[in-house]
Structure 1
């Protein structure tokens, strides 16, 4: 092994001892170790310098005291290394500023070097030439189909029990939990700061596919630009307005540089400091926001997209809910909203994505302040239903769902539904029951139906029928997997969960009007179910296991013919392998108890044993939501059972609920 390789390896291998052993294992040699690192800091090998930087970052995190005597020397080295042409070295050095800023114990030490550090971080936020070879695309590409590998997987979470009926014993309202959280929530933190800045922010709950690599994924990775933005964010949070003395003069210079890359980096920096320096920035925002709106007219798509993100970071000031003057609305809020909606209609996909995401952020901050402007908002959003490619359609669904969640019944006006629903229905009809896009569209519809309630009745029959069909088809898929192990792939349970949740939303939103759709579907499917039973087609109860509760004789025959309540009974069964499916099923049972108890009642002899069994104080934390929804459903049934012919013994509930109330929390 040559000398350079030996130095690099030593610096690299020593880091775990620093991080885990700290003072105990290296206490006698730490100073000598630091001196050796400084001797290697000027080595000609980038690999050696990179590992020296990494080792110093580890020391700063675990043993900062040993570095303080040489802090000035180390800061100068790290400032130089952060500006190296070799980005691997520069990135490792930039991690030092992130670690330095995060440690509140070192705040007083860091303060003396801010004047030197801030310009270097700003420089690191400028796009490199290599970045631009990949990302700099100003073409009108709205008609270019997205590649499947460009679409990051999204994961849907089961729905918690909730109710619109204030007279019920429902638990507090919980919003539907979805891991496909919206991409506009680019909250600047250690990992996500610059991800948002490069318009490739990871979404909450998102898991990227292994083995897939493409150009966008490459630049979705951690790099110098992202690390610099994250470090500036952390420093802004810790130093607040004091940082502005060093930052604002440089930002002013960058914003008016002839090179657009400097302007773009300055806009990114303005977004990065929004959380920590908002109070200090407020006097400047009346001038800054119009300047940012002018940037939306820039010829570079990357300038537009980062401007969207930064405007979103200042959305609390842009909206100022409850205290917004007429002048502020006219000069700030409306121009920002109109600017975002204009860019939602852009012909460049990156601009579409950033604009739609930024508008979703604005929605969340504005809430009901958007109600007077719903018609122009919907006109803009539905216009792109036919124009967006796959990836941006997912963001559009989220923006529409968020809007419905926030404005609620205000969306139920006929003139608004006449704009919104035709485009939604057209898209709905184009998608098959197996297309992933359908999941996001169903989730969007869930928000709409809960928001507009009875106004959804004209659209309910088709939605109800399709959800019942999706549930039945997925149960059939599970039954085949159990009956013929290894021969069939299990179905994607997300379709089943979101269909149950939309049925629950329909039942909740329509109230007693939902009964007519259950009754019609129940009668229609009962005939097919009876025919299948008389034909002798059966599934072996031993093989189908989890379906044993699906029918009174424990022997379902044709799941495609199963009426909705029999399918629901299958989903409740404790043997069902997916707790999230049972969680959604219990929420639907509770909603049915409120809205159409007379239809549910005859199935309670099959449902109640499953409900009681899953009220379990000793259940692991992963089953807490299932148990909570079972408790809620039981309470709704108990209220209605007291006024009906069904006799509900309180003893099993009393023993399970008392145990749940008195037992300690389940193990994590």
Structure 2
């Protein structure tokens, strides 16, 4: 590995990295744009690993920024990294384990780079990394041991599924790792008291990194060796309160994590209650933006005309800390790298998460302390204090909703006002906090006063914020409005559809890149919430043209198609027949996307590299086709006949190792069976064995695919000819009967199994009735709790057909159960009502025979 950097390029890169952390540099967007240009340099990552590992004379923060940039490059552009460059990064990363850097941040950053490579490239493709890490556990250098442990922890956290399944030399990876970790626990337990005393002795050390590691150690001990800490717990809580107030944010951050960890240990809650009056004010103060936080975002009250951006974590994250503090950028490439400098956990983020956890754990014991403090903060003249108070209110919303609700009639108008605050940061966080109280806000629509005082002003202001000048505010407003849509019903949304669609379609014309994807999600949620009410000419005329314009502007290989396809799926389902004018081009393109991807997979099959297949180019189009089929019903038949969809579905149904593909495939097969069965019939001899094989697949990863297969078999059984269906009935029942007995299975899976078993009796009652003694009592017991609808009605039609043929299969308990269900049925269909009368009369005669032999 003889690679060496070109001096001029190295100096340019170093200058930019230094600017990125300089407190005097306020234009970080320009820094990012300049750094983005380095992506065009093939060995960019070689420069970054050189700065991180080999430039020990450079400032450690600059080195760490280089490493963080490298990590994000690997996570976002792994497949575009030249193989020689990747091998060089691997080599230098592992070599650094031999002589660990003296700086803890640099060591952890190198561990993050190693983790990123394993996450993206899989454990099995870099077995040397684990070999080196495990070997380092025997090192006499404590820094080497700590670095190895820290890196292994990151790998296990970020890549749990892969590492739990991976094998090297036919031996599970965990069989190598776990035995090497156990001695560390054993040794620590034997020396716990001495270890704790040593931690307390250095707890007041002036060195920042030492105190940071002390706090981190106490948090880990609380999690893993709780009982050993009990004699020291009061002392430890006081220490963490002290550290949480440190002017050094790194120390305060580590201490803040202690409260979040404490909430998970319910048996220790009584220890913390007396300290809550001290803890809550400290956390509240930690929510205020620091100067460094503000520098990340270019100051406190910028009002530049920003382009919109999208939060890649999507809406409705239960934690503020995971979806709120990202920076803006201009185009796709920059957007993907947004988090390079701003995605690390800050004290503010940790504090918000800890406050949410504490409120959930202690309820009124926290809110009684918090609310008076918020009353002061919310009416401060300092916008930063006001903003932190709004954040705290939102963080406490989920866990303390019952305690906060009585105060919302005063608080919601305050939040409505701040949705128009001159400061973009305040508007941003207010959108998020308002979303946390969406349920309460929508609930006020039960009265005219509540609707006009709370719901309508929130609706109006969020729509205005969707068209805000700040991209970050646009993002927060879209997320908040989506949450409001989910909480509302047609009754709350339909009267406002014209104004809602006006704002959303204006945003469609203005947005681009990542915020546009979030907007698609918001529009799709609206379609789901209002259903067929969207199928009005005026609504269609406003909504569809800008969406179709976006659709026409995207290439088939553009991943930006996916969120648009998802949006159109919800719209197609809601519009129903109203989607017909747009069906032909959308239907054809979806089929073409699936076809092209499957043809590519044939090439991958030749190289035994199916993992390279991009499932989304199959999954998302199939989902949209399902939405179209559901919406159009039998009018979709000409489009199906004129396409190659059905042969493609027959191919997709054989992708038995791809649960992501099977799930929408089986759903679409079931939808087609309902809408236009005659088109599906010629392909069923090939498809049905695949569906039946999936009925017994108890792999948790395939649960949704299995569920859809069960449902699809039921839909087919109602329509396929008796002679064709009879061939499969025994195998289907043998697979499904065991599913209706155990209570451990999901309700949805059991209900689909019950429905399909019953439906087998519609055309194949003679064959299915033979098995009636095996399932009738469990079937009746489970079916009692199912909601009365068309599916349950058809299932009982088939079940009753079996009972009529084989009435003696039911014992007295089952007969009483069936008669009880018949007596309580509200609105049976005419065929089912006739069967109910027939069964009731028959069993009455059977009972009479028994009474009078």
- TM-score in terms of structure 1 length: 0.78
Deviation at 1:579, TM superposition (A): 2.9
Pairing partner for 2:618 from 496, 499, 509: 496
- Which residue pairs with 1:183 in the alignment? 314
Distance 2:285 2:303 in 1: 30
Compared with structure 1, are the counterparts of its residues 7 and 250 closer, same or farther at alpha carbon in structure 2 (3 Å cutoff)? farther
Helix, strand or coil: the match of 1:274?
A: coil
What's the CA shift string for 1:241-295, capped at 9, x where partnerless?
A: 2222321222222222222111111111001111222222122211111111221
Pairing partner for 1:357 from 446, 464, 479: 479
- Which residue pairs with 1:634 in the alignment? 713
Distance 2:620 2:234 in 1: 57
Aligned 1:453-468 pairs, distance under 5 A: 453-468=576-591
Contact 2:308 2:472 in 1 (8 A): no
- Which residue pairs with 1:298 in the alignment? 421
| Alignment pair present for 1:332 and 2:408 | no
- Which residue pairs with 1:381 in the alignment? 504
Contact 2:286 2:347 in 1 (8 A): yes
- Which residue pairs with 1:115 in the alignment? 277
Contact 1:587 1:633 in 2 (8 A): yes
Compared with structure 1, are the counterparts of its residues 126 and 374 closer, same or farther at alpha carbon in structure 2 (3 Å cutoff)? same
Distance 2:512 2:373 in 1: 39
- Which residue pairs with 1:62 in the alignment? 224
Deviation at 1:199, TM superposition (A): 6.0
| Alignment pair present for 1:607 and 2:687 | yes
What's the CA shift string for 1:479-514, capped at 9, x where partnerless?
A: 33345778x995522121111121122111111111
Note the aligned Cα RMSD (angstroms): 3.5
Deviation at 1:197, TM superposition (A): 4.7
| Alignment pair present for 1:592 and 2:672 | yes
Distance 2:186 2:607 in 1: 58
Gaps of 5+ in 1: 153-181, 202-208, 523-562
Pairing partner for 1:651 from 718, 723, 727: 727
| Alignment pair present for 1:49 and 2:211 | yes
Distance 1:618 1:145 in 2: 44
Aligned 1:8-47 pairs, distance under 5 A: 25-26=187-188, 29-47=191-209
Q: Which has the larger radius of gyration?
A: 2
Compared with structure 1, are the counterparts of its residues 581 and 122 closer, same or farther at alpha carbon in structure 2 (3 Å cutoff)? same
Distance 1:638 1:423 in 2: 41
More helix by share: 2
Helix, strand or coil: the match of 2:694?
A: coil
| Alignment pair present for 1:196 and 2:328 | no
The alignment of Structure 1 onto Structure 2 pairs a total of residues equal to 574
Contact 2:633 2:675 in 1 (8 A): yes
Deviation at 1:52, TM superposition (A): 1.3
- Which residue pairs with 1:131 in the alignment? 293
- Which residue pairs with 1:101 in the alignment? 263
- Which residue pairs with 1:87 in the alignment? 249
What's the CA shift string for 1:26-55, capped at 9, x where partnerless?
A: 555433332221110111211111111122
Pairing partner for 2:391 from 257, 260, 268: 268
Contact 1:79 1:117 in 2 (8 A): yes
Distance 1:458 1:47 in 2: 65
Contact 2:280 2:370 in 1 (8 A): yes
What's the CA shift string for 1:324-357, capped at 9, x where partnerless?
A: 2100110101001101000101121111111111
- Which residue pairs with 1:341 in the alignment? 463
- The structure, 1 or 2, with the larger RCO (C-alpha pairs under 8 Å, 6+ apart) is 1
Distance 1:8 1:241 in 2: 45
Contact 1:136 1:302 in 2 (8 A): no
What's the CA shift string for 1:2-45, capped at 9, x where partnerless?
A: x999999699699999x978996555543333222111011121
Contact 2:308 2:511 in 1 (8 A): no
Deviation at 1:212, TM superposition (A): 10
Contact 2:569 2:624 in 1 (8 A): yes
Helix, strand or coil: the match of 1:615?
A: helix
Distance 2:691 2:586 in 1: 27
| Alignment pair present for 1:581 and 2:641 | no
Distance 2:377 2:141 in 1: 40
Deviation at 1:120, TM superposition (A): 0.7
Contact 1:583 1:629 in 2 (8 A): yes
- Which residue pairs with 1:218 in the alignment? 341
Contact 2:413 2:454 in 1 (8 A): yes
Compared with structure 1, are the counterparts of its residues 623 and 317 closer, same or farther at alpha carbon in structure 2 (3 Å cutoff)? closer
- Which residue pairs with 1:505 in the alignment? 627
What's the CA shift string for 1:210-249, capped at 9, x where partnerless?
A: x998453432222211111111111111221222232122
Compared with structure 1, are the counterparts of its residues 134 and 641 closer, same or farther at alpha carbon in structure 2 (3 Å cutoff)? same
Compared with structure 1, are the counterparts of its residues 465 and 65 closer, same or farther at alpha carbon in structure 2 (3 Å cutoff)? closer
Distance 1:310 1:118 in 2: 19
- Which residue pairs with 2:650 in the alignment? 569
Contact 1:8 1:48 in 2 (8 A): no
Distance 1:248 1:76 in 2: 23
Deviation at 1:74, TM superposition (A): 2.6
Contact 1:497 1:584 in 2 (8 A): yes
Deviation at 1:432, TM superposition (A): 1.6
Gaps of 5+ in 2: 1-99, 105-139, 154-177, 746-853
